[in-house]
């Protein structure tokens, strides 16, 4: 494998049993898509660089993660990718919690995304500034606006929160796939806001 790094070999060798084949497979696909890739360890993650940050992966006790640096700029019409989660013990990458090779998308899908990411770096396309990303995330879902109309105190306290804390609430609600789950989360959010509390991920990891 070209441009390999012995520190990555050691990282993978020390990973738990389920993670080693996952990390080796992902590493192989990255090198297949971008032979010029450079490997390193950053912030306890395996980092791949190609004309700048490219993608990362890591293994924990019960799952592994893989993420693209410019995830938000990828054409995600092929499916499988998801926004990274950093709260409540959820997976921090774009492929969710990876516990086996079967949890990975098909190789041709991953290679297509890797080739997209390479093109972005080849063309020098940069991520938008954080402020523009925040404005996009902070758009209130219609049902939240409806509830705020009859819960003015919750609405007032919501707008007193920092943008990052507003984002945490909204992302938690938007991620709910079922209507009943979303309604339960909105009800909890309204209760916490009316009590002047910020959502506590530490004690609500089930995200029901």
Half-sphere exposure of 46 (CA within 13 A, CB side): 31
Query: What was the pLDDT predicted at 2?
Result: 56
Summarize the chain as % helix, strand, coil (round to 5).
50, 10, 40
Q: Is 1 domain-assigned?
A: no
Q: Is 208 domain-assigned?
A: no
Residues 25 and 148: their CA atoms lie apart, in Å, by 47
Q: What is the pLDDT along the chain (208 residues), one digit of tens a residue?
A: 556 789 999 999 999 999 999 999 999 999 999 999 999 998 889 999 999 999 999 999 999 999 999 998 999 889 999 887 654 345 678 999 999 999 999 999 999 999 999 999 999 998 876 554 445 556 788 888 889 888 999 999 888 887 778 888 888 888 887 888 888 999 999 998 988 766 554 334 344 4
Query: What was the pLDDT predicted at 74?
Result: 92
In this structure, the answer to whether residues 91 and 177 fall within a common structural domain is no
In this structure, the answer to whether residues 135 and 50 fall within a common structural domain is no
Question: H or E segment at 46?
Answer: strand 45-49
70, 127 Cβ separation under 8 angstroms: yes
In this structure, the answer to whether residues 155 and 197 fall within a common structural domain is yes
Query: What was the pLDDT predicted at 137?
Result: 53
Q: Is 75 domain-assigned?
A: yes
Q: Which domain holds residue 139?
A: 130-203
In this structure, the answer to whether residues 118 and 139 fall within a common structural domain is no
What's the residue count for the chain?
208
* Beta-bridge partners for 65: 58
Q: What is the DSSP letter of 96?
A: -
Residues 35 and 79: their CA atoms lie apart, in Å, by 25
Q: Please state the pTM of the whole predicted model.
A: 0.61
């Amino acid at each position: 494998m070209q441009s390999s790094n012995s520190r990555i070999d050691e990282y993978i060798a020390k990973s738990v049993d389920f993670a080693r084949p996952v990390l080796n497979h992902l590493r192989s696909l990255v090198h297949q898509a971008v032979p010029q890739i450079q490997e390193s360890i950053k912030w306890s993650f395996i980092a791949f660089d190609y004309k700048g940050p490219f993608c990362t992966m890591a293994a924990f006790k019960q799952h592994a993660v893989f993420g693209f640096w410019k995830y938000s700029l990828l054409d995600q019409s092929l499916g499988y990718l998801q926004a990274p989660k950093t709260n409540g013990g959820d997976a921090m990458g774009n492929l969710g919690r990876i516990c086996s090779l079967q949890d990975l998308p098909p190789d041709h899908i991953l290679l297509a995304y890797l080739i997209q990411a390479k093109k972005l770096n080849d063309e020098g396309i940069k991520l938008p500034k954080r402020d523009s990303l925040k404005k996009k995330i902070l758009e209130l879902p219609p049902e939240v606006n409806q509830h705020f109309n009859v819960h003015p105190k919750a609405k007032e306290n919501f707008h007193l929160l920092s943008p990052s804390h507003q984002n945490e609430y909204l992302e938690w609600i938007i991620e709910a796939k079922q209507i009943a789950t979303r309604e339960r989360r909105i009800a909890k959010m309204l209760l916490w806001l009316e009590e002047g509390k910020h959502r506590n991920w530490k004690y609500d990891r089930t995200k029901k």
